[in-house]
Amino acid sequence: MGVSHRVFDFDRALVRRPAASVVDGLRAGDHAGPSYEGVAAEHEAYVTALRAAGIEVEVLAPLDAFPDSIFVEDPALVFSGAAILLRPGAASRLGETDAIRPELARRFARVMELGGEGYADGGDVLVTPDMVFIGLSTRTDRAGADALSARLEELGLRARIVEPPAGVLHLKTGCSLIDEETVIATPAMAQSGVLDGFRHVVTPQGEEAAANALRVNDLVLLGAAFPRTRDLVEALGVEVVPLAVAEIGKIDAGLSCMSLRWKQA
């Protein structure tokens, strides 16, 4: 199918309202979880920012049985005219694929199953102008990455399976696309060679979480707690919209995973 527009040009997005159970979302370590009110407020501000960027946002009902279901990008991958249902690598999230299947079927002419074996999370997928990178992680294994690569090739897209540095939860935990030639990346990701060929904006010390940013149309959504990273991105001539993500960050998430975005075919 190819991509005839900039890969960060969108006019549609799908999000899911957080359920009360979001306080029990997956997280590494033993730190405290978020408050429901905090996550809900951050999610609402995120939806407002997407709409302000010119995107028509549809909000799905919460799923209390799945605490992490606010992160709709993990069980699916979408493009203009086609969607791929994925298989999240955390056992508690497997049912999210079935939950989102009918929503995608109503919006996309073609909905593909991952097929094969293994697991693949959307947080491990970075779409760039010439390549779709699939990162191996604790949530995306080689079998799942191979299956996803095959589905992408059916859509006329090139895929590359990469190994991010140790300790990275998802590929996009450590990097995001800023423009067609530039990524924002943590120091470890920048030094790994995973995205050689791109210009790198490296997150300053203490602001590594800023690497999970989100380019939408002519804006970059960025965590509000990362002013030095904001300066670096704005130096490229890109407008930054700072958003609070402190509560969402307590369940190991960021800006990219809370929406499925596409340009209507």
Give catalytic residue positions. 170, 257
For 245, the 3-state DSSP assignment is coil
CA separation for the pair 121, 103 (Å, rounded): 18
CA separation for the pair 125, 257 (Å, rounded): 10
For 103: left if phi > 0, alpha if psi spans -120 to 50, otherwise beta; the answer is alpha
Q: What is the dihedral of CA 188, 194, 200, 202, to 10 degrees?
A: -10
CA separation for the pair 223, 226 (Å, rounded): 6
Tokens of 32: 């405290």
Q: How many CA atoms does the CB half-sphere of 217 hold within 13 Å?
A: 14
Q: Tokens 């791929």 identify what position?
A: 84
Amino acid in position 251 = I
The radius of gyration computed from the CA coordinates of the chain, to the nearest angstrom, equals 17
Q: Tokens 């109503």 identify what position?
A: 106
